[in-house]
Amino acid sequence: MNYAAKVALVSLNDIDFGDRFRDDYGDLAQLMLSIETEGLIQPLAIMENEEKDGKPYTLLAGGRRFKALTALVEKGKFNGDSIPTRVYPPLQSELEIRSIELAENLQRKDLSFVEELQLKDAIHNLQISIHGQKLSTAKDAPGWSMEDTANLLGVSKATVSQDLKLAEAINTFPELAKCKNKSEASKLLNKIEEDAIAAEISKRIKTNSKAVPEQKLNLINSYMNLDCFEGMKGIDSGLIHIAEVDPPYGIDLMDLKQVDTTQTQIDREKYNEVPKIDYPLFLVGLAESLYRVMAQHSWVIFWHSYDWAEETKSALEYAGFSVHHIPGIWHKDSGQTQCNHPEMYLGNGHERFFYARKGNAMIVKQGRNNIYSYKPVPAQSKIHPTERPIEMIQDVLSTFAMSGMRGLVPFLGSGNSLLAMSNIGITGFGYDLTAEYKDRFTLRVMEGTYSDYHSY
C-alpha cells in the first residue's frame, strides 16, 4: 500500500498524539540525548485531518520520538516549532492508519513483540472486515487470506500464521506476554498445548480405562500423585528389591538455572524443593523409610549433589545400609557442561549416585565400571526440568537388578524411571506431587511402545 507523502517542518503543538498500539515507551533518556546532540534523524509520520482542538495533524508513527521531543521542548532544549515530518493526506480507514504505523515500527524494531503481534492481528482482521474471508485458494478469488496479509507485510505465510496464532493465544494465556521474545513465547505455547493434550488424554483414560491396553494402564496407574513419605507408609516391610531415588537436592536448583525464561519460572513453581535448613533431617527420614520397605537383600540407587554428599552417605549408613565410598557416575556424553561462573569454575559434565546395599545383595553386571556415558535429554523433549534419559537409567538399574523384581521410585518427576523399569521387566511404582507431570507421563506411555520406551 503506497501513499504519497510530503516532507514538511511542523510545530509539535499542531500534532495530536492520537491512540497508539504501544503501551510502554521505556527509558527515553538516551533517545532525548541523541535528538539533542544529533537532531531528529527519523521524521515523524503524521496525517492531515480536520482541525481538532487546534491540532491539524494526527501522529501516525513515531510515538517514542514524539514523547522525547515533548520532554526536550518543555526543558527548552529543542525548537518545537520546526519538527521534521512526513505528512500524509487524510486516510480513510483505521486499516490504512495502522498499516503505516506497523510498517515503520517493524523496520525500526521499536515495538515490543507483543505490540507487534497485536498490530499484525488487528491489520489482518481489519482487512477481513473490509474484504471478507477468502474461501478459495484461487488467486482471483474474492476476500482476504493469511497469504494476503503476508504479502502486505512482506513476510512469509508461515511467519504470519505463527504470529496470528501467538496474538490469539496471548489473550487466553497472559503469561505468554511475560516472555522475552517471540521465540520464547512460541516454545511456551507449544508446552501449554502439549500439557492440555496430556491432561485431556489422562481425563479420557480415567473415564474409559477399558479402552487402554492392560499393561499400559498398569504402568500409568503406577504413577501416583502422593507425597512419598505418605505413600511409603502403605508399603509392606521388605517388599522392594531396587529403589531409584532422585530427591530434591536442597540447593535451590531452579534458582541456579543459567537461563531465566518464563518456562524456568513456571518450573520453579512446580518444583518441590526442600529448604537447606531442613535437608539433613529430610535425608535421615528418607533413608529410614527406605530401609524399612527394602527387601533383605536389595539395592538403593541414591542420586545426590556434591553439597550434601557426606550427609547423604551418613544418612544411608545410619539407617542400616552399606554404602560404597566411590559413587556411580553419569557422564553427560555430549560435550555439554553447566557452569554459572565460567570465569572461575570448570563446567560440570556429570552427576553422581551412591549405590547402597541392604543385606548381601549382589551386583548383576559384575565387573562393570562405575561410569555411565549417555547424552542428556534434549531440552525440547523434556517434561521435567531434571529429567534423565531412559537409556541411562535402564543401564544403571540393570546393573543391580533383573526382570521379575519390584522397584520403587519415591520422586518420579518425568516418570522415566518407571519406563526404564518396564523395559527390563521390573514391576515399578512411585510418587510425585505434581499432577501435570503425571499427565505428561501418561501421554508418553500411550504414544510409546510398551517395554521399548526411549529418550532418543
Is there a single domain that holds both residue 340 and residue 427? yes
Q: List the domain range (segments joined by +) for residue 186.
A: 112-210
Per-position b or e across 3-23, b if 16+ CB within 10 A of its CB: eebeeeebbbebbbebebbbe
Q: Alpha-carbon distance 37 to 181, whole Å?
A: 32
Q: Output the pLDDT for position 337.
A: 62
Is there a single domain that holds both residue 414 and residue 322? yes
Answer whether residue 100 is part of any domain: no
Is there a single domain that holds both residue 355 and residue 383? yes
Q: Output the pLDDT for position 16.
A: 87
> Under DSSP, is residue 20 helix (H, G, I), strand (E, B) or coil?
coil
- Which one of 184, 210, 236 terminates a domain? 210
Q: Output the pLDDT for position 122.
A: 83
Yes or no: say if 400 and 364 are a contact pair by the CB < 8 Å rule.
yes
Q: Alpha-carbon distance 447 to 193, whole Å?
A: 16
Answer whether residue 390 is part of any domain: yes
Is there a single domain that holds both residue 223 and residue 245? yes
Answer whether residue 283 is part of any domain: yes
Q: Checking DSSP bridges between strand 55-61 and strand 44-52, what pairing results, if any?
A: antiparallel
Answer whether residue 67 is part of any domain: yes
Answer whether residue 101 is part of any domain: no
Is there a single domain that holds both residue 263 and residue 387? yes
**What total of structural domains would you count in the chain?**
3
Is there a single domain that holds both residue 373 and residue 259? yes
Q: Alpha-carbon distance 240 to 232, whole Å?
A: 11
Is there a single domain that holds both residue 293 and residue 390? yes
Backbone angles phi, psi at 429, to 5 degrees: -160, 165
Q: Output the pLDDT for position 299.
A: 98
- Which one of 210, 240, 263 terminates a domain? 210
Task: For the chain, report the end-to-end CA distance as a whole number of angstroms.
Answer: 49
Q: Output the pLDDT for position 105.
A: 60
Is there a single domain that holds both residue 249 and residue 230? yes
Q: Output the pLDDT for position 1.
A: 44
Is there a single domain that holds both residue 137 and residue 234? no
* Domain CATH for 6: 3.90.1530.10
Q: Find the angle CA(453)-CA(455)-CA(456) to the nearest 5 degrees.
A: 110
Q: Output the pLDDT for position 341.
A: 76
Answer whether residue 105 is part of any domain: no
Is there a single domain that holds both residue 183 and residue 235? no
Is there a single domain that holds both residue 290 and residue 231? yes
Residue corresponding to grid cell 494476503 = 148
Instruction: List the chain pLDDT tens, one digit each, 456 residues.
Output: 445 678 888 899 899 887 766 656 667 888 888 888 878 878 888 888 876 677 888 888 888 889 899 999 999 888 888 888 888 887 767 777 776 666 666 555 557 889 889 888 888 888 888 788 988 888 788 888 998 888 877 788 999 999 999 999 998 888 899 998 988 998 888 888 888 888 888 888 888 888 899 999 999 999 999 999 999 999 999 999 999 999 998 875 444 455 555 545 555 555 567 899 999 999 999 999 999 999 999 999 999 999 999 999 999 999 999 999 999 999 998 765 666 678 888 888 999 999 999 999 999 999 999 999 999 999 888 999 999 999 999 999 999 999 999 999 999 999 999 999 999 999 999 999 999 999 999 999 999 999 999 999
- In angstroms, what CA-CA distances link 323 with 317, 395, 398? 7, 20, 19
> 90 is written with which cell numbers?
487524510
Answer whether residue 456 is part of any domain: no
Answer whether residue 106 is part of any domain: no
- Which one of 194, 210, 226 terminates a domain? 210
Is there a single domain that holds both residue 395 and residue 323? yes
Q: Alpha-carbon distance 323 to 299, whole Å?
A: 10
